[in-house]
Amino acid sequence: MISKQNSDSLFRIQSRTFEILDSFGLDQIWRESTHVKEATFWDPDENGKIQRSSRIPNNMKGLSRFDCTGTIHQGVIEGFLIRAIRASASVPSHPEVRIEGNIAPSSLDIDETLIDDQDAYPVMVTLKHFDEASEVYAKSCGNIDESLHKTSLGDCDSKPTYLQNAQPGAEELVLAKYLVGCDGAHSWVRKALGSEFRLRGETTEAIWGAMDIIPVTDFPDIRVRSMVRSTSGGSLMMIPRENKLVRLYIQLTDGLSTNSRLTRSMVTPKMLIETAKRILSPYAIDFTYIHWWSAYQIGQRSGDHFDKQGRIFLAGDAVHTHSPKAGQGMNVSMQDAYNLGWKIGLACKGLVRPKAVLPTYDMERKLVAKELIAFDRRFSELLSMHSAKDITESSVELKQFFKKAPLFTTGIGVNYASSILTVLDDEAHGLAKYVVPGKRFASCQVTNHSDGRFWELHHRMPSDGRFRIMVFGGNIAHDEQRFEVNALGQWLDKTLIPRYPPINICPFVDRRLQTVRFQSELMTPIIEIFLVHTAPRDQIDILRDVDSTYHPWHPKLGWDYDHIFTISRVVAEDTIQSRQSVYEDYGIDEERGAVVIVRPDGYVGMVTSVAVKEARTKICDWFDSFLQGLNN
């Protein structure tokens, strides 16, 4: 993967991104970020004085347990990611992932004759080592005034590994099965792929400035996300971030009026704060500490192709660019990589059929990019209005836009279309009304049957490359239903699981899970099976009543206690408190249940019935269509 350090130091993390980070055990990022709970809108009154016209939550209720945007310095996130990669690299028998810096690609080719050979390395990249020892990474970690404490800022204790033995200026040729270009808006990889990969779209002349300051102000909403549209000086958006910093986006020109002779290079911090003062007047704003500033022109562009011959892929800004104001850039980009990562990973391990799985990346993410660009265009238009008339007329639309926006901006609304990985099945739809194939499988709180502990179901589903069959077994206190669930278990264990080779996963993914494995037994089925039933906990003894598929036996570790959950729990002697909303949330019948199969990236692949006669062909056909079988 070829990637670039970003110099923009703010990172606005959206709900779905927090869910993804959490699935790698990186929940600390949520706790250390600044939570932006509210948005306010300020419009001019009849005298042209700005006034708060409304206040709304900065998210939609119930979309995710990460219920708002979090802002945090990008260097902090990179530090967490680098440490997590290092921790997994320290597991014996787990392949090492190295992060190298001071390297740039200088040539790129594909050997077309090898494209279809899955054992070959058709991608050839020449890499050149820099001669400067400049630490690009360190530069991105903020340059806050030395006299100020860097509480959460500049957490740079995890730097990339610089190859010790590489001579400055030396070149090395790398042969690869796959290459991913995540190298930003000016992507070298994209350019090397030729003109058909050029981004297309528009760049307007409107210039905006962005700055991170510790504001000294009497504006009352400085600690919430505020959108201010004035007739006196244009528009401004502010986003509170950590350490008393606030990010300001300040409109300098609208690209139409006479002041459009301004160019980006003419912008100064003084110009930015003076404009902000005009917009916020009669409130005062100033700063003595500025953390970062920049100027940009609004443009929305994207590529027609996200991959070349299923061997070279583009992700993030390398294939779609837009304005930073909606806080989408790195969220959509990381989600690109997250969509692609498991597909390439399983392809490299020979566990999936590359030709079946890899084309879904382009299909699934190109659509998201198009939506992002349409969203950003309208957002920018609504924020760029200058005249009192335009502002007034668009006021209702702006608020409506923002109320609906979280469905898109949180990343929760993403809905991948029908494909080999996403089975839309009208018949199955009634089984789990609110579990939609193509959407991410929502989390809910369940109770571990064996120890009574509550878990977010997402916590039990870390991003380790496995598929998961969630057997919502219904009321297994009833003999008939229990029989179905156990028969399904038998079939899964005896027929489905043995069809596919196991996977070597890293047991370090999430310390909260306390996975215990012997080193000699690191291979595990690529399909993990969970049972979530609705029977009262004390009516079921899992060792006596439930097929061992759901609580596998290990000769040294005994029975497994971590894969059977229930919705009810004993809260006091002789009292069962039912928490049936879990099934309600998913729209699943509490008696007969349903089976949900979740992809490694947490998106729903298919829904089917608990009845093994109905389920087995569907499940088997589906996995066969893209998983490499053991016997073929």
Residue closer to a copy of itself by CB (options 538, 591) is 538
Q: Which two tokens stand for residue 86?
A: 């290092």
Q: 40, 65, 69, 36: which is closest to 53 by C-alpha?
A: 40
Q: 307, 325, 245, 230: which is closest to 276 by C-alpha?
A: 230
List residues near a copy of itself by CB under 8 A. 27-28, 31-32, 34-38, 54-57, 61, 91, 147-149, 151-152, 214-218, 220, 222-224, 240, 242-244, 288-289, 399, 448, 450-454, 507-508, 511-512, 514-520, 538, 541-544, 555-559, 561, 570-573
CA atoms within 13 A on the CB side of 566: 25
Q: What does the alpha-carbon distance between residue 258 and residue 433 come to, in Å, rounded to a whole number?
A: 55
Q: 281, 285, 276: which is closest to 215 by C-alpha?
A: 285
- 8 A C-beta contact, residue 597 and residue 428: no
Which helix (H) or strand (E) segment holds residue 454: the answer is: strand 454-456
Going 309 to 315 to 317 to 318, the CA torsion angle's sign is negative
DSSP, collapsed to helix, strand or coil, labels residue 43 as: strand
Q: 418, 2, 463: which is closest to 192 by C-alpha?
A: 2
Q: 482, 470, 359, 467: which is closest to 419 by C-alpha?
A: 359
Q: 208, 212, 264, 216: which is closest to 235 by C-alpha?
A: 208
| 396: Cβ contacts below 8 Å, ≥ 6 apart | none
Q: Which two tokens stand for residue 157?
A: 């204790």
Q: 404, 315, 435, 309: which is closest to 368 by C-alpha?
A: 315
For 233, other C-beta atoms within 10 Å of its C-beta total 19
Q: Is 94 buried (19+), middle (13-18) or exposed (0-12) by CB count in 10 A?
A: middle
- 């996977």: which residue's tokens? 503
Give the single-character DSSP code of 436: -
Q: 563, 538, 566, 537: which is closest to 550 by C-alpha?
A: 563
- 8 A C-beta contact, residue 535 and residue 631: no
Backbone angles phi, psi at 28, to 5 degrees: -60, -30
Residue closer to a copy of itself by CB (options 380, 410) is 410
DSSP, collapsed to helix, strand or coil, labels residue 309 as: coil
Q: What does the alpha-carbon distance between residue 442 and residue 602 come to, in Å, rounded to a whole number?
A: 8
Residue type, 89: A
Minimum distance of a copy of itself from residue 237's CB (angstroms): 16
Q: What does the alpha-carbon distance between residue 141 and residue 11 come to, in Å, rounded to a whole number?
A: 12
Q: What does the alpha-carbon distance between residue 309 and residue 624 come to, in Å, rounded to a whole number?
A: 23
Paired strand residues for 171: 128
- Conformation bin of residue 184: beta by default, left when phi > 0, alpha when psi is -120 to 50: left
Minimum distance of a copy of itself from residue 133's CB (angstroms): 25
Q: Give the DSSP per-residue string, 256-295.
A: SSGGGG--GGG--HHHHHHHHHHHHTTS-EEEEEEEEEEE
- 8 A C-beta contact, residue 223 and residue 34: no
Distance separating the N- and C-terminal Cα atoms of the chain: 30
Q: What does the alpha-carbon distance between residue 453 and residue 558 come to, in Å, rounded to a whole number?
A: 20
Minimum distance of a copy of itself from residue 61's CB (angstroms): 8
| 351: Cβ contacts below 8 Å, ≥ 6 apart | 500, 501, 503, 526, 627, 628
Q: Which two tokens stand for residue 331?
A: 């969220």
